[in-house]
Structure 1
Amino acid sequence: MSTYIDTVHPERHAPYLDIPDDVIDYLHYLDFVKQRSPRTVNGYYLDLRSFFRFMAVQWNLASEDTEPSQIDLRSISTQQIASVRKRDIFNFLEFARAQSNGAKARARKLSALRGFFGYMCTQANRLHDDPTANISLGTPKKALPKYLTLDESIELLKNVQSDFYSRDYCILTLFLNCGMRLAELVAIDLGDFRDETIRIIGKGSKERLVYLNSACLQALDHYKKERASLPNLVDKKALFVSKRTGKRLTARRVEQIVARCLQSAGLSGMGYSPHKLRHTAATLMYQYGQVDMLALKEILGHENVSTTQIYTHINQAQLKQAVESSPLSKVEYTPEPAVPQAAKDDGEEPEPSDSHAETEASALK
């Protein structure tokens, strides 16, 4: 994660000072006008910085041997940016592939470039031509979400080993039941709870209400009691805090907590993470709760239902089960029975041959 994201306050980011002024203006446009989340803005920053580091070498502002972090991009002018051509975009995308960037990563970089050059042409009116126009990489395949099974989820909750058990158990319970994002979880304040719901601030500062089931309410009740007795509570509004410092937990610290719990449950090294727990919550709700897709979209905070539809992969297992439940599914193949020769001769008569037709024609004369 870039240091430009404030780990204590993930809704904030530091000023961007190592990129061209035009790019800084674009990021401010994304932040204040489009109201994109800090993580989205930070992602665009990283991709655009990567592009202009590549172009700095093409413009002889740096050599190929220069460390990327040592390339000074602040002097790049609007005139130089205006010189970017379509072939430069293709060359950068080819360079990204050589750097082991997969199709999804390259598509994200192209999206960042489209956004920036579109802004320069239509919003800022600083460029006349958009070098990204009509460039398409196709639609990258959507990978099926990786998730814990129901048994693995129960095993994870049964094997929490921590010096702050109630807190870490509560973290896992909220992830597995509410399907919230990591950034959403660390940003929760005590004031976000009302009755049996929690107010979650999602991407683009969009708010949503998520209902808490009995497992969440019990876990929260036990944790809040221990939290209230901490002697050095600093961030009094924050829900999840450090036992040692009393400050709000960072996203990185929560990742470490989840990793340790996964290891205790024998689930480490399997690619699971806080985001995979979000996938798990969505998958289990869809699989066992028969949750409507639109309802699941609201719970997860997706902008479009097309994003949520990735969880319909569960239908494949249900369809297979339905087919296998047919009463004829156990009927085994039997060899073709022997058929008497006489029965075989009872089929359709063969078409008359040409010689037979000629004989009939002669008889008619």
Structure 2
Amino acid sequence: MKIPLLLEDYLDYMETIKGTSSNTVKEYFFDLRTFLRFLKIRFKLVDSNVEFDEIEIDDIDLDTIKKVSIQDLHAYISYTDKKRANSSSTRARKVASVRSFFKYLHSRVNLLDENPALYLEFPKTDARHPVYLTLDQSEKLLNTVLSNPNELYRSRDYSIIMLFLNCGLRLSELSSIDLDKINGEDTLTVIGKGNKERTIFLNEACVQSINDYLSLRPVVPGEKALFLSKRKQRLSNRAIQHMIDKYLEKSGLDPQVYSTHKLRHTAATLMYKYGNVDIRALQEILGHESVSTTQIYTHLDDDRLRDAVKSNPLANRKKNK
């Protein structure tokens, strides 16, 4: 769809100057498109009979944006809650998108004298434990992959799921792995959020699974992707998601509950629960910008908390009668 020039310039700035990933830029676009459609309703710039998703935004100009106040922003967040049933985490993301957009207009390109989003607060989000597979479920999923009768795709899919479950990769990180990013015997380089490179250390199981796949991978001149589709092209994010869903379902696990991102949660959980991994080390492994993001994994192990309480030297003290 056609979009206002000032929105197009902002999205270009985020991707080319700030180095924001294309996936994140898409989320900014979707959020800001919703925001601009809301403005047209609030400022009565569109017929009330027009469906929300059909509202055009290409005619929104700087004069319209200059009218926006903090009250309008509060009304927008309220609208996403009451009319669009957005969760608190989704509303928080929309706040982040709006704040970033107005910061750009005010502080980066000096198109606004004041920033109406400067004091726009983030909604309180619910603290949720990450969803993950247990060790037994992880083993069952891997065994299900091994039942694939096609040797090439069995080795490819097994290697993909091993990397998810052992290294905690994001979907985009895994799909973007190139052959020349496999360094030596036990490391590879991936491109994470913000186009930041990080080194992934591979354990023996991952090394073996990759080598097994490489021995069968078709040689395609000019194709540098590690994981190939049936068409001998880079395996897309959507194809990987579909493949994971298929194996989850065969394993008796609900694809609506578990996903590639839940496999990332599983890797982090298994490392924290069984490997006594320091939270800072886990932050580095997962490529989290802030350790506060990683700390969700410190709240999910009831056994560890129970053992910590039992380790108190007063735990076995008997009350004198």
So what's the TM-score if we normalise by structure 2? 0.91
Specify the alignment match of 1:352 in structure 2.
Answer: none
C-alpha distance in 1, partners of 2:286/2:127? 18
Specify the alignment match of 2:95 in structure 1.
Answer: 110
Aligned match of 1:237 in 210, 224, 228?
A: 224
Structure 2 contact 99–120 (Cα < 8 Å) conserved: no
Q: Report the structure number with the largest CA radius of gyration.
A: 1
- Residues 235 and 175 from structure 1, CA distance in 2 versus in 1: closer, same or farther, beyond 3 angstroms? farther
Specify the alignment match of 2:181 in structure 1.
Answer: 192
Specify the alignment match of 1:176 in structure 2.
Answer: 165
Specify the alignment match of 1:70 in structure 2.
Answer: 54
Moved over 4 A (4+): 324-333
Structure 2 contact 91–123 (Cα < 8 Å) conserved: no
Which amino acid is the alignment partner of residue 243 of structure 2? Answer: I
Q: Percentage identity across aligned positions? A: 42
C-alpha distance in 1, partners of 2:260/2:48? 38
Aligned match of 1:89 in 69, 73, 80?
A: 73
Q: Secondary structure at the match of 2:216?
A: helix
Aligned pair 1:59/2:43, yes or no? yes
Which amino acid is the alignment partner of residue 166 of structure 2? Answer: N
Specify the alignment match of 2:114 in structure 1.
Answer: 129
Structure 1 contact 234–246 (Cα < 8 Å) conserved: no
Specify the alignment match of 1:273 in structure 2.
Answer: 259
Aligned pair 1:42/2:26, yes or no? yes
Cα RMSD after superposing both structures: 2.3
Specify the alignment match of 1:149 in structure 2.
Answer: 134
Which amino acid is the alignment partner of residue 253 of structure 1? Answer: A
- Residues 60 and 314 from structure 1, CA distance in 2 versus in 1: closer, same or farther, beyond 3 angstroms? closer
Q: Secondary structure at the match of 2:8?
A: helix
Number of matched pairs? 315
- Residues 33 and 327 from structure 1, CA distance in 2 versus in 1: closer, same or farther, beyond 3 angstroms? closer
Aligned pair 1:318/2:304, yes or no? yes
Q: Secondary structure at the match of 1:228?
A: coil
Shift of residue 70, structure 1, vs aligned partner: 2.9
Shift of residue 325, structure 1, vs aligned partner: 7.1
Shift of residue 322, structure 1, vs aligned partner: 4.1
Aligned match of 1:296 in 273, 279, 282?
A: 282
Structure 2: state its 5+ residue gaps: none
C-alpha distance in 1, partners of 2:290/2:280? 9
Which amino acid is the alignment partner of residue 37 of structure 1? Answer: S
Which amino acid is the alignment partner of residue 236 of structure 1? Answer: E
Shift of residue 142, structure 1, vs aligned partner: 3.2
- Residues 327 and 206 from structure 1, CA distance in 2 versus in 1: closer, same or farther, beyond 3 angstroms? closer
Structure 1: state its 5+ residue gaps: 1-16, 338-365
Structure 1 contact 186–249 (Cα < 8 Å) conserved: yes
C-alpha distance in 2, partners of 1:64/1:321? 60
C-alpha distance in 1, partners of 2:203/2:261? 20
Q: Secondary structure at the match of 1:279?
A: helix
Post-superposition Cα deviations, 1:154-194, rounded to whole Å, max 9, x if no partner, equal: 11101115442111111100000110000001111111101
Question: 264-273 or 197-206, which moves further after superposition?
Answer: 264-273
Which amino acid is the alignment partner of residue 300 of structure 1? Answer: L
C-alpha distance in 1, partners of 2:6/2:256? 42
Specify the alignment match of 1:20 in structure 2.
Answer: 4
Structure 1 contact 186–251 (Cα < 8 Å) conserved: yes
Q: Secondary structure at the match of 2:217?
A: helix
- Residues 307 and 326 from structure 1, CA distance in 2 versus in 1: closer, same or farther, beyond 3 angstroms? closer
Post-superposition Cα deviations, 1:252-308, rounded to whole Å, max 9, x if no partner, equal: 111111111111111125611000000110111111111112211111111111211
Post-superposition Cα deviations, 1:66-125, rounded to whole Å, max 9, x if no partner, equal: 233432211211011101122211111111012110111111111111111111111111
Shift of residue 135, structure 1, vs aligned partner: 2.3
So what's the TM-score if we normalise by structure 1? 0.80
Question: 309-318 or 285-294, which moves further after superposition?
Answer: 309-318
Specify the alignment match of 2:249 in structure 1.
Answer: 263
Which amino acid is the alignment partner of residue 203 of structure 1? Answer: K
Specify the alignment match of 1:345 in structure 2.
Answer: none
Structure 1 contact 27–45 (Cα < 8 Å) conserved: yes
Specify the alignment match of 1:360 in structure 2.
Answer: none
Shift of residue 65, structure 1, vs aligned partner: 2.8
- Residues 325 and 152 from structure 1, CA distance in 2 versus in 1: closer, same or farther, beyond 3 angstroms? farther
